[in-house]
Amino acid sequence: MKMFLISDNVDTSTGFRLAGIEGVVVHEIEEVRQAISQVLLDREVGVLLITEKLGQLVPDIIGDIKLNYHIPLVVEIPDRHGTGRTPDSITKYVREAIGLKI
């Protein structure tokens, strides 16, 4: 099994490439869709890494893969500028999931 990165940033791609992880740099929504389709066809890819910014462009596809595919595991990663999540995203998730305010 191998990992594959779909990134919107050359620096992120270069860093992962130095770690031995192949990937592509894309910017448009159609390029993201095409890259994901190629990953799903490659049975050797066990982990799909995608930057959060790109994941937000295709939440329907990412959600479908997470719910209906055993492989690949999808991991959304922050880019070099940090995460796009709000500071209270985990507590908000818990509150919405189980109705408990922490």
Query: pLDDT by residue (tens digit) across 66-99?
Result: 999 999 999 998 866 556 666 665 566 566 667 6
Name the domain count of the chain.
1
Q: Which domain holds residue 53?
A: 2-98
pTM for the full predicted model = 0.79
Give the domain CATH number at 51.
Answer: 3.40.50.10580
Confidence of residue 8 (pLDDT cuts 50, 70, 90): very high
Distance between CA atoms of 43 and 21, rounded to whole angstroms? 16
Q: What percentage of residues in the chain have a pLDDT greater than 90? A: 66
**For residue 68, what are the CA distances in angstroms to 8, 31, 62?**
25, 22, 10
pLDDT higher than threshold 80 for residue 43: yes
